[in-house]
C-alpha cells in the first residue's frame, strides 16, 4: 500500500473515531464540563464580592459603641475562615473539600444574618447612610449568590445525568468522568437564603401589670 493509501486509511479511522466519540457523548461531556466550570467561577466571584463587603460593614458597625462585640467577632472570624480555604479546579471533584467550602460559606451567611438582625436594635446605626448602602449591597450580593448557585446546581445536574445514563455512562467509565458534587440538600436553604432585613421598629414591650 502506498503512502497515499495509508493516509486515506488514517483519515478514515480518524473520522470513524470522531463519529464514535460523538455518538457516545464524549463531546457532550466536554461541553457540560465547561458549563460546570464557568458557573462555578461565577459562584466564587459572588462569594468574593460578599467577602469584600464585610470589612467596611464591620468598620461601620463598630461606630456604634454599644454594639454587641460577640456578633462582630463572629462575622470577622467567619470571613477569615471563608477566605482561608484554597479553592482549586480539583475542588469540584473532591466531595470532602467541596463540603468544607459549603460549611464555611454557610457560617459566614449565618453570621451576617445575625449582624443585620441585631442592627435593628440600634436606631443610630439604622439611620447611618453608609450602613444603609452597605446593607443594600449585601442584600444584592446574596441574591446574586443564590442565582449563581442555582445555575451551578443545574450545570452539575446536567453533567451527572449524562455520566449516569446509557450509553454515555460507558464513556464516563472509560475516560474517568466521575460525578461532580453539588450543594448539600441539608444546608441548601441555610446557605442560599439572603439575610432577612427588616426596618420595622420593634413593638415596645407590654408594661408589667401593677399589683
Q: Is residue 142 part of a domain?
A: yes
pTM over 0.85: no
Q: What is the pLDDT of residues 98-117, one digit of tens each?
A: 888 889 999 999 999 999 98
State what percent of residues in the chain have pLDDT above 90: 36
Predicted pLDDT at 186 = 44
Task: Please give the pLDDT value at position 12.
Answer: 40
Count of the separate structural domains present in the chain: 1
Q: Residue 68: in which H helix or E strand, if any?
A: none
Q: What is the pLDDT of residues 130-147, one digit of tens each?
A: 888 999 999 999 999 999
- Tracing cell 463572629 back to the chain, one arrives at 74
Q: With respect to residue 6, please indicate whether it lies within any of the assigned structural domains.
A: no
Asked if residues 151 and 39 have their Cβ atoms less than 8 Å apart, the reply is yes
Mean pLDDT of 55-63: 88
Check residue 4 and give its pLDDT. 60
Model confidence pLDDT, tens digit, residues 148-182: 999 999 999 999 999 988 888 888 888 888 888 87
- pLDDT tops 80 at residue 206: no
DSSP output for 126-171 = HT-HHHHHHHHHHHHHHHHHHHHHHHHHHHHHHHHHHHHSTTHHHH
Q: Domain holding 112: CATH number?
A: 1.20.1440.20
Q: What is the pLDDT of residue 6?
A: 55
Flag whether pLDDT at 83 surpasses 50. Answer: yes
* Within-domain flag for 144: yes
Q: What would you measure as the largest C-alpha separation in the chain, in angstroms?
A: 114
Packing angle, helices 3-23 and 26-62, rounded to 10: 50
Domain annotation covers residue 111: yes
Backbone region of residue 25 per phi and psi (left: phi > 0; alpha: psi in -120 to 50; beta: other values): left
Q: Whole domain around residue 139: which residue ranges?
A: 38-192
Amino acid at each position: 500500500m502506498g503512502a497515499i493509501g495509508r493516509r486515506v486509511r488514517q483519515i478514515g479511522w480518524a473520522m470513524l473515531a470522531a463519529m464514535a466519540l460523538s455518538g457516545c457523548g464524549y463531546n457532550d461531556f466536554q461541553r457540560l464540563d465547561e458549563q460546570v466550570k464557568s458557573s462555578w467561577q461565577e459562584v466564587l466571584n459572588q462569594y468574593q464580592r460578599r467577602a469584600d463587603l464585610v470589612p467596611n460593614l464591620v468598620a461601620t458597625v463598630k461606630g456604634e459603641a454599644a454594639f454587641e462585640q460577640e456578633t462582630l467577632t463572629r462575622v470577622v472570624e467567619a470571613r477569615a475562615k471563608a477566605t482561608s480555604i484554597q479553592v482549586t479546579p480539583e475542588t469540584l471533584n473532591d466531595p470532602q473539600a467541596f463540603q468544607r467550602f459549603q460549611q464555611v460559606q454557610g457560617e459566614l451567611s449565618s453570621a451576617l444574618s445575625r449582624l443585620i438582625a441585631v442592627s435593628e436594635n440600634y436606631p443610630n446605626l439604622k439611620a447611618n447612610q453608609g450602613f444603609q448602602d452597605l446593607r443594600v449591597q449585601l442584600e444584592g450580593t446574596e441574591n446574586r449568590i443564590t442565582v449563581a448557585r442555582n445555575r451551578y446546581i443545574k450545570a452539575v445536574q446536567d453533567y451527572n445525568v449524562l455520566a449516569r445514563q446509557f450509553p454515555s455512562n460507558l464513556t464516563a467509565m472509560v475516560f474517568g468522568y466521575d460525578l461532580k458534587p453539588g450543594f448539600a440538600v441539608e444546608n441548601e436553604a441555610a446557605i442560599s437564603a439572603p439575610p432577612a432585613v427588616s426596618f420595622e421598629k420593634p413593638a415596645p414591650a407590654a408594661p408589667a401589670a401593677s399589683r
